[in-house]
Structure 1
Amino acid sequence: MDAIIKNFPPRPDQNTAPAEKPAYLDKPATDRPSREEAEAAVRTLLRWAGDDPDREGLRETPARVAKAYQELFGGYDLCPAEELGRTFEEVAGYDDMVLVKDIPFHSHCEHHMVPIIGKAHIAYLPDGKVVGLSKIARVVDIFARRLQTQEAMTAQIASTIQDVLKPLGAAVMIEAEHMCMAMRGIRKQGSTTLTTTFTGRFKTQPEEQVRFITMVRDPRKG
């Protein structure tokens, strides 16, 4: 079961005042509790689940969970725009699509805080400069390591690439399985959600969308 969602915020007209930089491009400033408070919260959740946080197997679990959260949600301490800051203009006149496909990621649903597991396909049409390919994957990783919805993550990646690199267009496709749907509620394992966002020429020229999707889907092209 595939759901296709296209979502990209309207860009301001050139004659209007510059829009404020989206908050997700900054390093988020959060009022974090202490490590001790975080571990105490995990102990409470263990009790809420029905177990005894003082039994042998769970004594170190609060500390392990707090440490794991630092890694799983490390994207809050990083700025995706900074990852795209260094570009290269020596491209020998190359001006066609750059596609990085099958970028794996793990994120967490902001509604139930359970995993989202998927892959991203990202393309852009360079306008005289390119960025290191690993930086594209790094942007995906930063946004993935925050509480997310797939729709928001798709739009955030596309907006960041468009606003920072300023290419002629950007295309983002994300395919993912949501554990909140597989493990609870309706409990439908294997169901995949597909979201796409297009900017620039990818948005205004349908043939570019078709070319992007064809390159993503054709195993001979990657």
Structure 2
Amino acid sequence: MTTPLAGPETTLGGALPIPGQRAAAVDTAQVAGLISQLLIALGEDPTRDGLIGTPDRVAAWWADFMSPDDVTAVTCFSESQLSDQLVIVGGMSVWSLCEHHMLPMNLQVTAGYVPDGEVVGLSKFGRIAEHFAGRLQVQERFTEQVAEYLTSVIGRKDVAVAVRGVHLCMSMRGVRMEPARTTTLHTGGRFATDPLLNQQFFAAAQWNAA
């Protein structure tokens, strides 16, 4: 951190900025009305058996998806004997929506950093990924947002983030290539300048995505 730790555990409250913050709450009543209109435009009857209540359910899902828990507190633990150890957290799977076609994309996230006298609470990595996934997104921006936030948490640029995505906008429309995968990689600080560190992280990221 950029400030000294007062004890074995430090909690960073809401002081950290959240880049790309969403603006307004979801208007579920209006969304439900629009879904009813969409069903009619598709030649369906929103009042038939099977579709009764569907607009409200879809609206409730949008409200839930677009309102993930904020990353309001990141806990760091003092570990004075730690330095130059590579920490990698993988196996994080989040769902987001492609903003170009509004179709789902599944993002497998691996994040790494080099601790210097303290470590970040592991559960926060998943919460950070979920926070930035809960919106209309593109994978490239998502990768940078996660990396930028982790950089602000540890106070240094020694952060790497790899994301492997399955995009339904490519799998079920257009070229319809179901096996296609997209990989984005951010390497900052020592991950960009130390080839061995970069190779170690990328090997771990590939293993986690396998």
Aligned residue in 2 for 1:56: 49
> Which has the larger helix fraction?
1
Q: Identify which range, 153-162 or 49-58, moves more after superposition.
A: 49-58
CA deviations on 1:133-155 (whole Å, 9 max, x unpaired) are 11011111111111110000001
1:162 CA drift (Å): 0.5
Distance 1:60 1:103 in 2: 33
User: Does 1:30 find its partner at 2:19?
Assistant: no
Structure 2 counterpart of 1:145? 134
1:10-38 CA-to-partner distances (Å, cap 9, x unmatched) read: xxxxxxxxxxx6642x5x331643x3212
1:97 maps to: 86
- The CA deviation at 1:64 is 0.4
Q: Say whether the 8 Å CA contact 1:125–1:167 is kept in structure 2.
A: no
Structure 1 residue 65 corresponds to structure 2 residue 58: yes
What aligned pairs does 1:177-196 form with structure 2 within 5 A after superposition? 177-196=166-185
Unpaired runs of at least 5, structure 2: 1-16
Q: Contact between 2:86 and 2:115, CA under 8 Å: does it hold in 1?
A: yes
Q: Secondary structure at the match of 2:82?
A: coil
Q: TM-score, structure 2 length as denominator?
A: 0.84
Query: CA offset at residue 118 of structure 1?
Result: 2.9
For residues 194 and 218 of structure 1, what CA distance do their matches in structure 2 show?
13
Higher relative contact order (CA 8 A, sep 6+): 1
Contact 1:127 1:168 in 2 (8 A): no
Measured in 2, the distance between the counterparts of 1:175 and 1:83 equals 27
Distance in 2 between residues matched to 1:51 and 1:29, nearest whole Å: 33
CA-CA distance at 1:124 after TM superposition: 0.6
Match of 2:186 in 1: 197
The runs of at least 4 aligned residues of structure 1 exceeding 6 Å deviation read none
Shift in CA distance, 152/207, structure 1 to aligned 2, threshold 3 Å: same
TM-score of the pair, normalised by structure 1: 0.79
Q: Which runs of 5+ in 1 are unaligned?
A: 1-20
Please give the secondary structure, in 2, of the residue aligned with 1:45. helix
Q: Percent identity?
A: 34
Q: Does 1:159 align with 2:152?
A: no
Q: 2:70 aligns with which of 79, 97, 102?
A: 79
**Larger % of strand: which?**
2
Q: How far apart are the structure 2 equivalents of 1:59 and 1:218?
A: 45
- Change in 2 beyond 3 A, CA 1:218/1:41: closer
Pairs aligned (count) = 193
Tell me the secondary structure at the aligned position of residue 212 of structure 1.
helix
Determine helix, strand or coil for the equivalent of 1:56.
coil
- Report the CA distance between 1:216 and its aligned residue: 2.7
Does the 8 A contact of 2:191 with 2:198 survive in 1? Answer: yes
The CA deviation string for residues 73-100 of structure 1, in whole angstroms up to 9 with x for no partner, is 223xx433x342x211135434411100
Structure 1, 151-160 or 99-108: larger mean CA deviation? 99-108
